[in-house]
């Protein structure tokens, strides 16, 4: 179920209609149930992992922050996890026909013992945890806190590494050993990458870390914490929301306002315009070059990379806009994740504007923990490189993402070394108007585009090949890739002009200053291009794979 589908439209309208009729606590339960339906739509087995993470971190945070749990606080996550193991991991849902509302009862439960292994293992693990509870409560405070934080981090990173990175590291080690003359059998796990796992793993880790550091008190309501982690608008591709920002919103009644809903509707429309009209309209042209096995020209690489630069921005920021817009209808405010990133003049400014929730997470929980810039220049550069390399690896289990992260870290170090960092202030905005800022922005935009080549490339060999073409094939202006679709050709210049006006006004609500007639024309154009964009070949949101 994706945002740009009729399934999601029906799902959203149904949930919203019920939401308006229910009291506060029932609203939370409705949103939690809807979020699990939304997530289980891809694969119901994925619900077990998110409930495992939810149960472990809810319990760890309570024991870290308060030192003890009531019987109901222990019982709720225990039963939730056992229930998830049964319904999401054991029941054979292929025996259920949703079209005819019939059930093949003899095949509903598996007949072999291996299918019951997850349920049995979960039951044993829950029983052991509850038996160890009295000893944990009696342990020295600092020792207990560190042990539980370690348990939370190991659980989360362990799940992430097994499902996302095991095959990558095993394959890389195998290649190195084979190159050294050792013959080893292939070692890989046939596991489905859980969609959105990188996003909710970082969110739940920040929660337990914040509780450990005393930045917030743990919630004693399992449903509230579960909703924080599973809230469906931002579950699959962010933004990465901090618990300190979102849990308080779920812990108190929301007052739905007309202006908030209208702003949400505009964000949904704007996000669909970016995704359906532009991103999907550019995808075919980009794929024609990056998925090509034949020869491509210098101009092919340049144009395809430029188009991908806008494709990934429209695709990802479009998702974030829709997520924020849908959330506003429920009275929930999500953090802004993009702020005109291609107007940046330096890498530090770019990461204050691009995927803001991830870059701020890496800064607060990784870069600063490594020492930040407090231990001299050399250590600062090391911390920057390590942070960005791990940030690249967060995006995917492939070497091109690691190289992209190292490239971004290198840019941060070089700009810092040359003292070319910028800050957002009125003087810089006037500098942009004088022309110096334009040159800095153009230079960094070119560097950003090459970074997206590293990001989009299908292999290390393609990175080498395309880089060589860029250097040695200058002047070859033959263009073999197909043109983008009409919605993208019309929509992209409109988006650039729109964001230029927003940059000049330094306000995301700049369009309010125009008359109702002008705004109405703008909305009509967006709607027309979205409608035209429905003829584009539908493409999955790019960040779903991360």
Q: How far apart are CA 273 and CA 289, in angstroms?
A: 24
Q: How far apart are CA 348 and CA 420, in angstroms?
A: 10
Q: What is the three-class DSSP state of 39?
A: helix
Q: Tell me how crowded residue 293 is: count the other CB atoms within 10 A of its CB.
A: 5
The alpha carbon of residue 47 and the mean position of all alpha carbons in its chain are separated, in whole angstroms, by 18
Where residue 11 falls (left for φ over 0; alpha for ψ -120 to 50; beta otherwise) is alpha
The secondary element (H helix, E strand) that includes residue 469 is helix 460-472
Q: What is the pLDDT of residue 234?
A: 92
Q: How far apart are CA 403 and CA 354, in angstroms?
A: 18
Where do we find the tokens 């999401």?
A: 88
Q: What is the pLDDT of residue 517?
A: 93
Where do we find the tokens 């929509």?
A: 491
Q: How confident is the model at residue 430 (pLDDT cuts 50, 70, 90)?
A: low
Total length of the chain: 546
Residue 1 reports pLDDT greater than 80: no
Q: How far apart are CA 288 and CA 377, in angstroms?
A: 44
Active-site residues, by number, are: 395
Where residue 474 falls (left for φ over 0; alpha for ψ -120 to 50; beta otherwise) is beta
Backbone angles phi, psi at 97, to 5 degrees: -105, 110
Q: How confident is the model at residue 214 (pLDDT cuts 50, 70, 90)?
A: very high
Structure confidence by residue, pLDDT tens digits, 185-210: 667 777 778 888 999 999 999 999 99
The angle that helices 71-87 and 117-138 make with each other, rounded to 10 degrees, is 160
Q: How confident is the model at residue 403 (pLDDT cuts 50, 70, 90)?
A: very high
Name the residue with higher pLDDT: 101 or 205: 205
Residue 80 reports pLDDT greater than 80: yes
Q: What is the pLDDT of residue 349?
A: 95
Q: What is the pLDDT of residue 426?
A: 53
Which letter does DSSP use for residue 57 in this model? H
Q: What is the pLDDT of residue 100?
A: 73
Residue 339 reports pLDDT greater than 70: yes
Backbone angles phi, psi at 102, to 5 degrees: -125, 160
Q: What is the pLDDT of residue 294?
A: 76
Structure confidence by residue, pLDDT tens digits, 28-77: 999 999 999 999 888 888 899 999 999 999 999 999 999 899 999 999 99
Q: Tell me how crowded residue 23 is: count the other CB atoms within 10 A of its CB.
A: 8
Contacts of 62 (CB under 8 A, 6+ apart): 68, 69, 73, 218, 220
Q: What is the three-class DSSP state of 524?
A: helix
Residue 431 reports pLDDT greater than 80: no
Mean pLDDT score of the chain: 90
Dihedral angle sign, alpha carbons of residues 238, 239, 240, 242: negative
Which letter does DSSP use for residue 351 in this model? H
Burial of 319 (C-beta count, 10 Å sphere; 0-12/13-18/19+):
buried
Through-space distance between the first and last CA atoms of the chain, rounded to whole angstroms: 17
Q: How far apart are CA 463 and CA 414, in angstroms?
A: 22
* CA-wise closest residue to 74 among 151, 145, 133, 144: 133
Q: How confident is the model at residue 434 (pLDDT cuts 50, 70, 90)?
A: low
Contacts of 325 (CB under 8 A, 6+ apart): 263, 264, 265, 266, 267, 268, 269, 270, 271
**CA of 204: how far to CAs of 35, 69, 83, 227, 354, in Å?**
16, 19, 21, 12, 22
Q: How confident is the model at residue 216 (pLDDT cuts 50, 70, 90)?
A: very high
**Tokens standing for residue 528:** 């027309």
Name the residue with higher pLDDT: 377 or 293: 377
**Tokens standing for residue 341:** 């990133």
Q: What is the pLDDT of residue 170?
A: 81
Percent of the chain having pLDDT more than 90? 69
Q: What is the pLDDT of residue 407?
A: 97
Structure confidence by residue, pLDDT tens digits, 416-429: 998 865 555 555 54
**CA of 222: how far to CAs of 56, 57, 218, in Å?**
11, 10, 10
Q: How confident is the model at residue 433 (pLDDT cuts 50, 70, 90)?
A: low
Residues 56, 152 contacting (CB under 8 angstroms): yes
Name the residue with higher pLDDT: 174 or 492: 492
Backbone angles phi, psi at 293, to 5 degrees: -105, 0
Q: Tell me how crowded residue 268 is: count the other CB atoms within 10 A of its CB.
A: 21
Contacts of 49 (CB under 8 A, 6+ apart): 159, 163, 194, 197
Q: What is the pLDDT of residue 221?
A: 94
Residue 90 reports pLDDT greater than 70: yes
- Cis peptide upstream of residue 447 (ω within 30 degrees of 0): no
Q: How far apart are CA 451 and CA 230, in angstroms?
A: 32
Residue 286 reports pLDDT greater than 90: yes
Residues 495, 314 contacting (CB under 8 angstroms): yes
Residue 115 reports pLDDT greater than 80: no
Name the residue with higher pLDDT: 529 or 42: 529
Q: How far apart are CA 76 and CA 68, in angstroms?
A: 15
Structure confidence by residue, pLDDT tens digits, 465-522: 999 999 998 888 888 899 999 999 999 999 999 999 999 999 888 888 889 999 999 9
């Amino acid at each position: 179920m994706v945002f740009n589908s009729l399934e999601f439209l029906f799902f959203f309208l149904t949930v919203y209609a019920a939401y308006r009729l229910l009291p506060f606590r029932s609203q939370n339960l409705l949103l939690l149930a809807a979020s699990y339906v939304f997530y289980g739509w891809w694969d119901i087995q994925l619900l077990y992992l998110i409930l495992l993470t939810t149960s472990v971190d809810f319990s760890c945070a309570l024991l870290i922050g308060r030192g003890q749990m009531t019987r109901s606080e222990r019982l709720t996550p225990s039963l939730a996890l056992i229930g998830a193991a049964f319904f999401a991991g054991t029941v054979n849902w292929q025996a259920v026909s949703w079209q005819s509302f019939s059930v093949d009862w003899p095949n509903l439960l598996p007949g072999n013992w291996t299918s019951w292994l997850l349920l049995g293992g979960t039951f044993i693990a829950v029983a052991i945890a509850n038996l160890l509870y009295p000893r944990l409560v009696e342990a020295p405070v600092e020792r207990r806190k560190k042990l539980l934080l370690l348990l939370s981090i190991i659980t989360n990173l362990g799940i992430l590494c097994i499902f996302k990175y095991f095959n990558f590291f095993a394959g890389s080690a195998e290649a190195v050993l084979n190159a050294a003359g050792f013959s080893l059998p292939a070692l890989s796990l046939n596991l489905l990458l859980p969609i959105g796992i990188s996003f909710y793993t970082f969110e739940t880790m920040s929660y337990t870390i914040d509780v450990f550091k005393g930045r917030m008190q743990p919630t004693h309501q399992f449903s509230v914490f579960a909703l924080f982690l599973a809230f469906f608008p931002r579950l699959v591709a962010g933004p990465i929301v901090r618990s300190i920002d979102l849990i308080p919103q779920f812990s108190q009644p929301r007052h739905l306002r007309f202006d908030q809903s209208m702003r949400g509707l505009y964000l949904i429309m704007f996000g669909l315009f970016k995704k359906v009209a532009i991103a999907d309209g550019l995808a075919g042209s980009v794929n024609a070059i990056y998925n090509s096995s034949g020869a491509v020209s210098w101009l092919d690489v340049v144009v395809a990379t430029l188009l991908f630069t806008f494709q990934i921005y429209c695709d990802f920021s479009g998702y974030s806009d829709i997520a924020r817009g849908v959330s506003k209808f429920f009275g929930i405010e999500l953090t802004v994740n993009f702020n005109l990133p291609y107007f940046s003049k330096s890498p530090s400014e770019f990461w204050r504007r691009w995927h803001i929730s991830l870059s701020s997470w890496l800064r607060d929980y990784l870069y600063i923990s490594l020492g930040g810039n407090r231990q001299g220049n050399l250590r600062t550069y090391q911390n920057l490189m390590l942070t960005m390399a791990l940030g690249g690896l967060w995006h995917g289990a492939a070497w091109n993402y690691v190289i992209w992260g190292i490239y971004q870290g290198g840019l941060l170090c070089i700009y810092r070394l040359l003292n070319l960092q910028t800050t957002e202030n009125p003087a810089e905005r006037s500098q942009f108007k004088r022309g110096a800022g334009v040159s800095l922005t153009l230079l960094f935009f070119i560097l950003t585009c090459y970074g997206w080549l590293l990001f989009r490339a299908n292999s290390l060999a393609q990175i080498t090949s395309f880089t060589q073409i860029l250097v040695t094939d200058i002047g070859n202006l033959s263009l073999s890739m197909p043109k983008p679709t009409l919605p993208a050709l019309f929509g992209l210049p409109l988006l650039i002009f729109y964001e230029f006006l927003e940059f000049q006004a330094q306000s995301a609500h700049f369009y309010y200053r125009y008359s109702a007639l002008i705004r109405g024309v703008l909305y009509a154009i967006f709607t027309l291009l979205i409608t035209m964009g429905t003829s584009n070949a539908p493409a999955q949101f790019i960040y779903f794979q991360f």
